């Protein structure tokens, strides 16, 4: 073997080592080690990513029927820091009254994915969301004050369970907790103070792609081999003010994740009468912009 | 017309993004030996088929034996006529036992993905 060939072999081995040892350094959206976390529909997912949720259509009955159509665009500034902007159009219809329509307040956010553990399939992120007063229609419930919500998010896959518990390794859980702080104590003309609200949620997922590729190839055909059944739970608990009832929904459903897009659908079950009535639903189309535009819009700016 | 327009938009979106998308990133579609399987004969080659063609420089496959010994499988090659399938030669005379295959792949979009699975040799 010549010196040149030895050098080439050495470089080749180094590249191979890097491919096995360093995958987390250039990770794709929502990936921690062997785990891919799909974007959840109801609670925010923990990954900083270039992505577009368009549209998200949701329906739930409460005092009346409420339908909303929303969109959210998220852009990475760096590999671990992203900003987002979102809008939501709402139609509310109460019996005997004409329907009210309009936009909710504009929402912006910043997310810092400050921990990614490939070995433990774990992601931790800090987020600050801002809902801007005066940008929505009060007739459909848009607040007359700005709300700032700092929070934490996490994702954890079960891939580090022992091999003897292989059936459980496709499980993953993601979650969020946020504390919504209104910009002013009371809106003009209102009898009550604006409450501070704890918003919290969890998603339990079972990844069939993980099962197929990491644990046991069951020969599942398309589209089932790309599906992740999940249950999301989303709650809000006012921590100030007279009404401190927790409201929220439990949302079982499915996400199908493709190369550039994912499609999700979930039922929505209110946890109590204050949260709604009957069974609602939510569907979403979600684009992975880092795959749609890998060399332009889908790259971090810095 | 108002009914046709949304349908046309949805169709355009699906044709642009949905039709060409089978999987996310360079993900393992199928392996031979199959993931989690038991085989009677030790394989001479491990075959990994992905959803898209991984770059050869930047992709690697490692075999971890029943005794924990790690072996980098090389040289990696593409299957003839199938750029989405990587072939990794195994050491001769694999003993009976459970082996883990650890792979790392670099996709054309410069995304790294990784995974591992086990198979058992049981004559």
State the pLDDT at residue A91: 96
The answer to whether A19 and B76 have CB atoms below 8 angstroms apart is no
Query: Residue A26: its chain B contacts at CB < 8 A?
Result: 110-112
Question: Total structural domains in chain A?
Answer: 1
Our CA-based measurement puts residue A125 at a distance from the nearest CA of chain B, in whole angstroms, of 21
Query: Residue B22: its chain A contacts at CB < 8 A?
Result: 222, 226, 258-259
B70-77: long-range pairs with CB below 8 Å, 24+: B72/A13, B72/A16, B72/A17, B73/B46, B74/A12, B74/A13, B74/A16, B75/A12, B76/A16
pLDDT tens, residue by residue, A133-182: 999 999 999 999 999 999 999 999 999 998 889 999 999 999 999 999 99
HSE at residue B16, side-chain half, CA atoms within 13 A, is 11
Residue A215 has its nearest CB partner, among B18, B36, B110, at B36
B112 vs A33: CB contact, 8 Å cut-off? no
State the pLDDT at residue B25: 72
A20 vs B114: CB contact, 8 Å cut-off? yes
Q: Is the pLDDT of residue A289 over 50?
A: yes
- Tell which residue, A264, A266, A155, A158, has the closest CA to residue A211: A158
Most A-contacting residue of B52, B102, B109 (CB-CB within 10 A), to test interface: B109
Nearest residue in A to B108, CA atom: A294
**Domain membership flag for residue B5:** no
**Domain membership flag for residue B30:** yes
**Domain membership flag for residue B74:** yes
Tell me the CATH number at A220: 2.40.160.40
The answer to whether A256 and A226 have CB atoms below 8 angstroms apart is yes
Our CA-based measurement puts residue B96 at a distance from the nearest CA of chain A, in whole angstroms, of 18
pLDDT, average across residues A232-253: 96
What span, in angstroms and rounded, lies between the C-alpha atoms of B5 and B42?
Answer: 58
The interface predicted TM-score of the complex, written ipTM, equals 0.77
The distance of Cα A130 from the centroid of its chain, to the nearest Å, equals: 16
**Domain membership flag for residue B10:** no
- Tell which residue, A255, A165, A249, has the closest CA to residue A209: A255
A–B CB contacts, 8 A cutoff, strictly below: 128
Give the range of the structural domain holding residue B39, as residue numbers without chain letter. 25-121
Output the average pLDDT for chain B.
Answer: 82
Most A-contacting residue of B9, B12, B19, B24 (CB-CB within 10 A), to test interface: B24
Give the range of the structural domain holding residue A196, as residue numbers without chain letter. 29-292
pTM: 0.86
Residue B30, chain A, CB below 8 Å: the answer is yes
Most B-contacting residue of A259, A284, A291 (CB-CB within 10 A), to test interface: A259
pLDDT tens, residue by residue, B48-72: 999 888 988 889 999 999 999 999 9
**Domain membership flag for residue B100:** yes
Question: Total structural domains in chain B?
Answer: 1
Residue bearing the bigger pLDDT, B23 or A296: A296
């Amino acid at each position: 073997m010549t010196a040149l060939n030895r050098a080439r072999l050495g470089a080749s081995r180094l590249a191979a080592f890097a491919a096995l040892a360093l995958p987390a350094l250039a990770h794709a959206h929502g990936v921690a080690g062997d785990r891919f976390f799909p974007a959840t529909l109801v609670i925010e997912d923990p990954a900083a990513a270039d992505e577009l949720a368009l549209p998200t259509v949701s329906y739930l009955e409460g005092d009346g029927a409420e339908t909303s159509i929303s969109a959210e665009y998220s852009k990475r500034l760096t590999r671990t820091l992203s900003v987002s902007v979102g809008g939501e159009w709402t139609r509310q219809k109460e019996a005997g009254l004409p329907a009210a329509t309009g936009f909710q307040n504009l929402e912006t956010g910043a997310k810092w994915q400050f921990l990614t553990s490939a070995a433990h399939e774990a992601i931790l992120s800090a987020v600050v969301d801002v809902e801007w007063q005066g940008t929505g229609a009060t007739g459909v419930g848009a607040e007359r004050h700005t709300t700032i919500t700092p929070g934490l998010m996490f994702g954890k896959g079960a891939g580090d369970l022992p091999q003897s518990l292989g059936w459980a390794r496709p499980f993953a859980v993601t979650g969020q907790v946020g504390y919504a702080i209104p910009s002013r104590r009371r809106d003009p003309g209102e009898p009550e103070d604006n409450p501070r609200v704890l918003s919290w949620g969890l998603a339990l997922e079972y990844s069939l792609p993980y099962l197929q590729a990491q644990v046991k190839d069951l020969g599942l055909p398309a589209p089932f081999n790309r599906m992740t059944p999940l249950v999301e739970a989303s709650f809000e608990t006012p921590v100030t003010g007279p009404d401190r009832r927790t409201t929220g929904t439990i949302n079982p459903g499915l996400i199908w994740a493709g190369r550039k897009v994912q499609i999700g659908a979930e039922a929505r079950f209110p946890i109590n009468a204050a949260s709604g009535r009957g069974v609602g639903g939510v569907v979403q189309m979600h684009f992975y912009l880092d795959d749609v535009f890998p060399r332009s819009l889908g790259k971090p700016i810095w | 017309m108002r009914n046709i327009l949304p349908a046309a938009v949805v169709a355009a979106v699906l044709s642009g993004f949905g039709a060409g998308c089978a999987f996310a990133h360079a993900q393992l579609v199928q392996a031979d030996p199959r993931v989690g399987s038991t085989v009677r004969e030790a394989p001479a080659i491990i075959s990994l088929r992905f959803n898209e063609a991984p770059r050869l420089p930047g992709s690697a496959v490692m075999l971890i034996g029943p005794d924990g010994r790690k072996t980098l499988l090389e040289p990696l090659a593409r299957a003839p006529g199938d750029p989405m399938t990587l072939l990794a030669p195994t050491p001769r005379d694999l003993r009976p036992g459970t082996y883990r295959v650890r792979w790392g792949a670099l996709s054309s979009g410069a995304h790294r993905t990784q995974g591992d699975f086990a198979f058992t040799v049981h004559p």
